[in-house]
Protein backbone atom coordinates (compact mmCIF):
# COMPACT_ATOMS: atom_id res chain seq x y z
CA UNK A 1 0.00 0.00 0.00
CA UNK A 2 2.41 2.63 -1.26
CA UNK A 3 1.41 6.26 -1.35
CA UNK A 4 2.99 6.70 -4.81
CA UNK A 5 2.66 3.73 -7.18
CA UNK A 6 5.47 4.99 -9.42
CA UNK A 7 7.66 6.47 -6.66
CA UNK A 8 11.14 5.53 -5.51
CA UNK A 9 9.99 2.83 -3.07
CA UNK A 10 7.84 1.17 -5.73
CA UNK A 11 10.85 0.92 -8.03
CA UNK A 12 13.09 -0.19 -5.16
CA UNK A 13 10.68 -2.98 -4.21
CA UNK A 14 10.39 -4.09 -7.81
CA UNK A 15 14.17 -4.35 -8.17
CA UNK A 16 14.47 -6.08 -4.80
CA UNK A 17 11.95 -8.72 -5.86
CA UNK A 18 14.14 -9.57 -8.84
CA UNK A 19 17.60 -9.58 -7.29
CA UNK A 20 16.91 -10.90 -3.79
CA UNK A 21 16.58 -14.57 -4.84
CA UNK A 22 19.83 -14.34 -6.81
CA UNK A 23 21.69 -12.83 -3.83
CA UNK A 24 20.24 -15.38 -1.43
CA UNK A 25 21.34 -18.23 -3.69
CA UNK A 26 24.70 -16.52 -4.19
CA UNK A 27 25.43 -16.16 -0.50
CA UNK A 28 23.82 -19.38 0.75
CA UNK A 29 23.83 -21.68 -2.28
CA UNK A 30 26.35 -24.19 -3.48
CA UNK A 31 27.55 -22.48 -6.67
CA UNK A 32 31.02 -21.13 -5.86
CA UNK A 33 31.36 -18.74 -8.82
CA UNK A 34 28.05 -17.04 -7.99
CA UNK A 35 29.05 -16.80 -4.33
CA UNK A 36 32.35 -15.21 -5.32
CA UNK A 37 30.58 -12.69 -7.57
CA UNK A 38 28.06 -11.80 -4.85
CA UNK A 39 30.87 -11.32 -2.33
CA UNK A 40 32.67 -9.04 -4.81
CA UNK A 41 29.49 -7.01 -5.33
CA UNK A 42 29.06 -6.68 -1.56
CA UNK A 43 32.69 -5.53 -1.18
CA UNK A 44 32.23 -2.91 -3.90
CA UNK A 45 29.09 -1.53 -2.24
CA UNK A 46 30.81 -1.33 1.15
CA UNK A 47 33.88 0.34 -0.35
CA UNK A 48 31.61 2.84 -2.12
CA UNK A 49 29.91 3.70 1.18
CA UNK A 50 33.27 4.12 2.90
CA UNK A 51 34.59 6.31 0.06
CA UNK A 52 31.63 8.71 -0.01
CA UNK A 53 32.26 9.53 3.65
CA UNK A 54 36.01 9.95 3.13
CA UNK A 55 36.94 13.65 3.31
CA UNK A 56 39.99 13.00 1.09
CA UNK A 57 37.89 11.55 -1.75
CA UNK A 58 34.68 13.59 -1.55
CA UNK A 59 34.40 17.35 -1.26
CA UNK A 60 31.68 18.54 1.06
CA UNK A 61 32.16 22.18 0.05
CA UNK A 62 29.03 22.61 -2.08
CA UNK A 63 26.14 20.38 -3.11
CA UNK A 64 27.41 20.39 -6.71
CA UNK A 65 30.93 19.31 -5.66
CA UNK A 66 29.45 16.60 -3.46
CA UNK A 67 27.25 15.32 -6.29
CA UNK A 68 30.14 15.24 -8.76
CA UNK A 69 32.41 13.35 -6.37
CA UNK A 70 29.74 10.81 -5.37
CA UNK A 71 28.88 10.21 -9.03
CA UNK A 72 32.58 9.68 -9.80
CA UNK A 73 32.91 7.12 -7.00
CA UNK A 74 29.72 5.37 -8.12
CA UNK A 75 30.93 5.16 -11.73
CA UNK A 76 34.21 3.68 -10.51
CA UNK A 77 32.38 0.93 -8.59
CA UNK A 78 29.98 0.23 -11.47
CA UNK A 79 32.95 -0.07 -13.86
CA UNK A 80 34.66 -2.47 -11.45
CA UNK A 81 31.53 -4.62 -11.22
CA UNK A 82 31.05 -4.58 -15.00
CA UNK A 83 34.65 -5.70 -15.53
CA UNK A 84 34.18 -8.53 -13.04
CA UNK A 85 30.95 -9.65 -14.72
CA UNK A 86 32.53 -9.57 -18.17
CA UNK A 87 35.42 -11.73 -16.89
CA UNK A 88 32.94 -14.17 -15.34
CA UNK A 89 30.99 -14.36 -18.60
CA UNK A 90 27.70 -13.37 -16.96
- CA distances (Å), origin 18, targets 13, 14, 30: 9, 7, 20
Say how far apart CA 81 and CA 45 lie, in whole Å: 10
Domain presence at residue 21: no
Domain extent, residue 78, equals: 30-88
**pTM value?**
0.73
Say how far apart CA 2 and CA 9 lie, in whole Å: 8
C-beta of residue 2 within 8 angstroms of C-beta of residue 11: no
Tell me how many domains the chain contains: 1
pLDDT of residue 28: 86
Domain presence at residue 5: no
Domain presence at residue 73: yes
pLDDT one digit per residue (tens) for the chain, 90 residues: 788 888 888 888 898 998 888 888 888 888 888 889 889 999 999 999 999 999 999 999 999 999 999 999 999 999 999 999 898 765
Amino acid sequence: MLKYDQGFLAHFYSISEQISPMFIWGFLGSEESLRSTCQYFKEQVIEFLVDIFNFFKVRYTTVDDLAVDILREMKLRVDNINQRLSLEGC
